[in-house]
Amino acid sequence: MTDTRKVRLVPTGDCFCGCGAEAEIGRWFVRGHDITAAAALRALEGMKLPQRLVSLGFGPERSVVQTAVEEAGWVRCAGCAYAGTPANLAAHTRAGTCTDDAPAGERQPAGPEAGDPEAAAQAGPARSGRADPAAAGTAAPVRAEFGAARGRLLPGADDPSWEEVPLHLRQRLRVPAHQLVTPLQGRLKEKESRRLLSAVRAAARMRVTGAHWHLLLTASREAFGSPRSARARALYEALEQVAQEVTPAEEREGAGRPEDATAG
């Protein structure tokens, strides 16, 4: 039987690049030599970074950064798209280098997916607070005609009630959403499903905007996968629970008002 366990290595005090210098206690490399060693290894392998990513199963369809967050203890910055080790995140926060220039697929909840003008219009004002004329009127509730929320009144894409979706429902949705796109297959691979795919990936990251919720809750069951797909079924059932939970803020505020009962 083949032993698939990783070789356990410990810092020896010698720089692991092989330069012969002495590394600090608990460190693998002399400062900066890890970068040199990584570059030398890439040169020997003869592969560029995209090729190395693909050889390990990563690329446009599977984020190496998100996998590091989920499996290797990396964490995300709450203010931008940065992700790294807890120590690096602390340094990033202290440096005040947060930006709003998140790459496509790695945005935080305040913005729509990059390169999707329609989603940008639905998502409402940008984080800077400047109103977007194209987004006027998006706060109005919408009656869902299809999907898990069929027949229900959904809050507008920029309604604050989307931020109140209970954490346990977001967490329940996260697992089947991740499984549905890892690996990516079925109808979500089709070009016309690009926006829905972005919304499913956002659900897997628990970074769902109001525009994402609209896409997820109004998409047909078949849009997520075949009738035999257990992963698609689990995702759809989680969305049905979310649909039962969300209510437009103005509808909640208007419920039970005396003038409503005496009107007419």
Sequence-separated (6 or more) residues with CB below 8 Å from residue 205: 66, 174
* Position 30 pLDDT exceeds 80: yes
Q: How confident is the model at residue 2 (pLDDT cuts 50, 70, 90)?
A: low
* Residue-level pLDDT at 97: 55
Give domain limits for the chain: 12-46, 64-95, 138-250
Predicted model pTM: 0.46
Contact 199, 224 (CB under 8 A): no
